[in-house]
Amino acid sequence: MQATPSETLSLATYPPEVRQQLFRYVLQLADTSLILGHRLSEWCGHGPILEQDLAMANIALDLLGETRSLYQYAAELEGQGRTEDDLAFLRLATEYQNPLLVEQPNGDFADTVVRQFLFDNFHYHFLQQLQTSPDERLAAIAEKAWKEAAYHLKWSSEWIIRLGDGTEESRQRVEKALSNLWRYSGELTNPTATEQALQSLGLIPNYATLIPAMQAHVAKVFEEATLPLPTETYMQKGGKEGRHTEHLGYILAELQYMQRTYPGMKW
Amino acid sequence: MPTEERIWQLLEEVFDPEVPVLSILDLGIVRGVQVAGEQVTINITPTYSGCPAMNTIATDIRLRLLAEGITQVTINNQLRPAWTTDWMTAAGREKLEAYGIAAPVNGTSTGHVLNLFGQDTAVRCPLCKSEHTHLVSQFGSTACKASYQCDDCLEPFDYFKCH
């Protein structure tokens, strides 16, 4: 099956193996925004100033909204009767496919800003391309989320600049955060076998085409922040294939304990 | 049997739970109404992906129609085309400002959001009407609003941000 640019595809038109790959992939996208949204929500009530506390809670909410749209679609693709809640609350850590970056701890504000910037820069450019996917559902979710991601990237870019070009202390902290987190940025654009299969079908963007715009944005922001570009080339990976850092288990313990303890419980 | 026109009239009486002066028609989130016999189908579009008001709005629509004896109602969440503040009606903008929230500046819903540290177009203070205002934060009390402050009367206010 090869999609032509003008063709619109949807759930009913996919052969079973494509449907299975797409299920896996949509789950990966949903896991990613769920885990990052959860991390940001941990700041709620603890932000350095009120406006930034609100900003992080707002970004978390946008990500959770995107998460819901994606889990709903994943549940339909799977077609086994599982709901969005089952997918979020009743899967094991090894079944989660979020990249390692988004599960990294909040650390201090600089750590959170750097993690957010590295993710937003990918998310924004990725969603921009995903809007042209022949898969009508993914394209619609992307169209909505892209507008929100633009606000996120503006926020995190401006904070990289403020911290980098701020005081001696803020600069040291942002440099330390970069040295801890840069190694997780490569996984975002490093396709798994599932992603490669969907890319070759033309259903999702080829990540290699996103990299020039992502690099240009990093260069522009870092220049204004007076920060040197990181030179580290070794990149961690594994999260998208279910191999996680120790941090994910703690997140899921908090996210899932209620449904695990009282199955089917509702508010 | 309900008519399409009647359904639109009833939707005029369903309000945004977070900005209760605005009807959902003022907000521009109703994308379509179809009536087939007793079956009513309504497409609504979220302002933001994570807008927590969407479930309440869907429930409020059902309750308003139920009060007229209309029971067969399907409400679809339509993501595309993505909602834009340009769909807010002129009446809606006036009500918003009277309520103390600056209305989105029309026609600025796309582009230049990545203009770092760049200002939006002049936002008018809903209290003293001065355009001498500044952005405090792109993220405000709800997902759809930014925080501003007036430099003349010093009033802090919400701005229904362009989208």
* Number of domains chain A is built from: 1
Domain B4-77, architecture per CATH = 2-Layer Sandwich (3.30)
CATH code, domain carrying A174: 1.20.1260.10
pLDDT at B47: 86
Distance (Å) from the C-alpha of residue A198 to the closest C-alpha of chain B? Answer: 22
Q: Which residues contact A20 (CB under 8 A, 6 or more apart)?
A: none
What sections of chain A are H helices per DSSP?
Answer: 16-41, 50-78, 84-89, 109-130, 136-164, 168-181, 193-200, 211-224, 247-261
> In this structure, what DSSP letter does residue A91 have?
-
Q: Per the domain annotation, does A119 fall within a domain?
A: yes
pLDDT > 90 in chain A, percent: 93
Q: pLDDT tens, B28-86?
A: 999 999 999 999 999 999 888 888 888 899 999 999 999 999 999 999 989 889 898 88
Rg (CA), chain B: 17
- Is A69 close to B49, i.e. CB distance below 8 A? yes
**Mind listing the pLDDT tens digit for each residue in A115-124?**
999 999 999 9
Please report the pLDDT score of residue B108 as a whole number: 57
Task: Kindly state whether B99 is in contact with chain A, defined as any CB-CB distance less than 8 angstroms.
Answer: no
Neighbours of A188 (CB within 10 A): 24
Q: pLDDT tens digit string along A173-203?
A: 999 999 999 999 999 999 999 999 999 999 9
Under the banding of pLDDT at 50, 70 and 90, the label for residue A12 is confident
Whole-number pLDDT of residue B51 = 84
pLDDT for residue A7 is more than 70: no
**What pLDDT shows up at residue A10?**
79
A9 part of a folded domain: no
Residues 6+ apart with CB under 8 A from A181: A101, A104, A111, A114, A115, A118
* C-alpha pair distances (Å), A198 with each of A26, A90, A133, A203, A239: 11, 26, 11, 5, 18
- From chain B, pick out residues whose CB is under 8 angstroms from the CB of A63: 50
| ipTM > 0.85 for the complex | yes
Using the Cβ of A61 and the Cβ atoms of chain B, whether some distance falls under 8 Å is answered with yes
User: Residue A233: inside a domain, yes or no?
Assistant: yes
Report the residue count for chain B.
163
Q: Report the residue of A147, A160, A266 to disrupt the B interface, i.e. the one with the largest count of B CBs within 10 Å.
A: A147
For residue A31, the distance in angstroms to the closest alpha carbon of chain B comes to 16
| Average pLDDT of the residues in A143-165 | 95
Supply the pLDDT for residue B119.
65
CB distance A22 to A77 below 8 Å: yes
CA-CA distance, B23 to B89, in Å (whole number)?
10
Q: Please tell me the distance from the alpha carbon of residue A158 to that of residue A144, in angstroms, as a whole number.
A: 23
**pLDDT value at position A262?**
94
Task: Compute the nearest-CA separation of B119 from chain A (Å).
Answer: 12
A143 in B contact zone (CB under 8 Å): yes
Q: pLDDT exceeding 70 applies to what percent of chain A? A: 97
More confidently predicted of A13 and A117: A117
Q: Which residue has the higher pLDDT, A116 or B2?
A: A116
Query: What residue in A sits closest to B145 (Cα-Cα)?
Result: A58
Contact A244, A103 (CB under 8 A): yes
> Average model confidence (pLDDT) for chain B?
89
pLDDT of residue B49: 82
Q: Return mean pLDDT, chain A.
A: 95
C-beta separation of B14 from B2 below 8 A: no
Residue A45 structural domain: 14-261
Q: Does A26 touch chain B (CB under 8 A)?
A: no
All structural domains of chain B with their residue ranges: 4-77, 85-160
User: Is the pLDDT score of A85 beyond 90?
Assistant: yes
- Select the highest-mean-pLDDT range: A12-16, A170-174, B97-101, B138-142: A170-174
Lowest mean pLDDT among A205-219, A248-262, B120-134: B120-134
pLDDT of A4 > 80? The answer is no
Q: Is A158 on the interface with B (CB under 8 A)?
A: yes
A151 interfacial to chain B (CB closer than 8 Å): yes
Which of A53, A154, A218, A221 should we substitute to test contact with B (largest number of B Cβ atoms within 10 Å)? A154
Q: How far is CA B5 from CA A100, A140, A172, A207, B23, in A?
A: 52, 29, 63, 48, 16
Q: Which of A29, A66, A32 is nearest to A147 (CA)?
A: A66
Q: What is the pLDDT of residue A266?
A: 84
In a domain, A70, yes or no: yes
**B124 interfaces chain A, CB cutoff of 8 Å:** no
**Residue-level pLDDT at B109:** 56
Instruction: Tell me what pLDDT residue B106 has.
Output: 67
Which residues, other chains included, contact A248 with Cβ-Cβ below 8 Å and sequence gap of 6+?
A35, A93, A96, A98, A103, A239
Q: How far is CA B153 from CA A74, A145, B97, B124, B140, in A?
A: 50, 36, 16, 12, 20
Nearest-Cα distance to chain B for A196, in Å, is 27
Please give, rounded to a whole number of angstroms, the shortest distance from the CA of B113 to a CA of chain A. 6
Contacts of B140 in chain A (CB under 8 A): 54, 58
* Interchain CB contact of A213 with B (< 8 Å): no
CA nearest neighbour of A40 among A27, A62, A59: A59
CA gap A192, A199 in Å, rounded: 10
**Closest in A57, A144, A161 to B79, CB measured:** A144
Q: Residues of chain B with pLDDT > 70: what percent?
A: 94
pLDDT at residue A139 is higher than 70: yes
* SS3 state of residue B156: strand
Helix (H) or strand (E) holding B97: helix B90-98
Closest C-alpha to A190, from A218, A217, A216, A214: A214
Residue A5 has pLDDT above 90, yes or no: no
Distance of residue B117 Cα from the nearest chain A Cα, in angstroms:
7
The pLDDT value given to residue A6: 52
Closest in A51, A61, A139 to B137, CB measured: A51
A66 at B interface, C-beta within 8 A = yes
Q: How confident is the model at residue B18 (pLDDT cuts 50, 70, 90)?
A: confident
Closest CA to A34 of A64, A8, A4: A64
Q: Kindly state whether B80 is in contact with chain A, defined as any CB-CB distance less than 8 angstroms.
A: yes
Strands B133-137 and B101-102: unpaired
Q: What is the structure's pLDDT at A111?
A: 98
Residue pLDDT, tens place only, A94-108: 999 999 999 999 999
